[in-house]
């Protein structure tokens, strides 16, 4: 059974870069889309972007200029970099996997990690 | 840009009652790419319904989804205590490529 585990700093200073990793265990990354989704306190879910196992990525236009999502299938890891963060980027960040093939909903989720942007 | 609107924002019901949650899109959504999730405090979202009407593995049959085009519905036939949570719809394929609705909170009356 595939499991996802997010990791990274819980506190990031304004204007710096938020960097998170997601380690995939129990399965291969090949053939799937891998996403980052966030949930600010008291708000709903927001898709940050996704990357296919080949490395091709798509991002939410609202974050496009600041975000990079990459995958390292040899290490079974997904990465997120969000530049020039502000307090508005404070959120629980989840990594998630879509299904195989033409499946565009999230079947597997990590537990999430809280990132606070504050000086 | 597609916008998903969920109504009501909050639904106050008692266990055993029927819950009807709406998800309306500002543009047509392929039924294949409309999903519903349940989220409880401190937990990751859980997939309930995909393809507008298909229950995910392990989801009780009191949960059902319906709709097409711009109007979709999640129905919980008889609320159990564990069903009180926030529910999100999600679409894929429009611009932005993937969006979630703002959520409907189902709380205990």
Cβ atoms within 10 Å, residue B4: 24
Cβ atoms within 10 Å, residue A74: 7
Which residues in chain B are contacts of A61 at CB distance < 8 A?
95-96
Structure tokens that stand for A17 in this block: 């870069």
pLDDT of residue A86: 97
pLDDT bracket for residue A100 (50, 70, 90): confident
Average pLDDT, chain A: 96
Structure tokens that stand for B96 in this block: 């932005």
Instruction: Give the nearest partner residue to B103 out of A37, A44, A103, using CB atoms.
Output: A44
Q: Do A105 and B93 touch (CB under 8 A)?
A: no
Q: Give the largest CA-CA distance in chain A.
A: 43
Q: Do B44 and A109 touch (CB under 8 A)?
A: yes
Which residues, 6 or more positions from B106, have their beta carbon under 8 angstroms from its beta carbon?
A: B10, B11, B13, B19, B21, B76, B79, B83, B84, B85, B86, B87
pLDDT bracket for residue A102 (50, 70, 90): confident
pLDDT of residue A103: 87
Residue A49: its H or E element: strand A46-52
> Touching check for A113 and chain B: CB below 8 Å?
no
Which residues in chain B are contacts of A45 at CB distance < 8 A?
37, 39, 45, 88, 90, 100, 103
> Touching check for B9 and chain A: CB below 8 Å?
no
Q: What is the mean pLDDT of each run of 10 residues along chain B (109 residues)?
A: 96 97 96 96 97 97 97 98 98 90 96
Q: In sequence order, what DSSP letters do the residues of A72-98 get, joined into one string? A: ETTTTEEEEEE-S--GGG-EEEEEEEE
């Amino acid at each position: 059974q595939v499991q996802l585990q997010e990791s990274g700093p819980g506190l990031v200073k304004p204007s710096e870069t938020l960097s998170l990793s997601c380690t995939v265990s129990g399965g291969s990354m090949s053939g799937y889309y891998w996403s980052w989704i966030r949930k600010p306190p008291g708000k709903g879910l927001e898709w940050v972007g996704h990357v296919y196992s080949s490395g091709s990525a798509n991002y939410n236009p609202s974050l496009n200029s600041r975000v990079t999502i990459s995958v390292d299938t040899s290490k079974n890891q997904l990465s997120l970099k969000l530049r020039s963060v502000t307090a508005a980027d404070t959120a629980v960040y989840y990594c998630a996997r879509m299904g195989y093939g033409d499946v565009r909903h999230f079947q597997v989720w990590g537990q999430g990690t809280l990132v606070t942007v504050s000086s | 840009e597609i916008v998903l609107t969920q109504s009501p924002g909050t639904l106050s019901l008692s266990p055993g009652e029927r819950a009807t949650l709406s998800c309306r899109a500002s543009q047509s959504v392929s039924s294949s790419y409309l999903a519903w999730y349940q989220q409880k405090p401190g937990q990751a979202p859980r997939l309930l319904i995909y393809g507008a009407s298909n229950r995910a593995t392990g989801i009780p049959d009191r949960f059902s989804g319906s709709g097409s085009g711009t109007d979709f519905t999640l129905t919980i036939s008889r609320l159990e205590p564990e069903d009180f949570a926030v529910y999100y719809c999600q679409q894929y394929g429009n611009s932005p490529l993937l969006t979630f609705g703002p959520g409907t909170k189902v709380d205990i009356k």
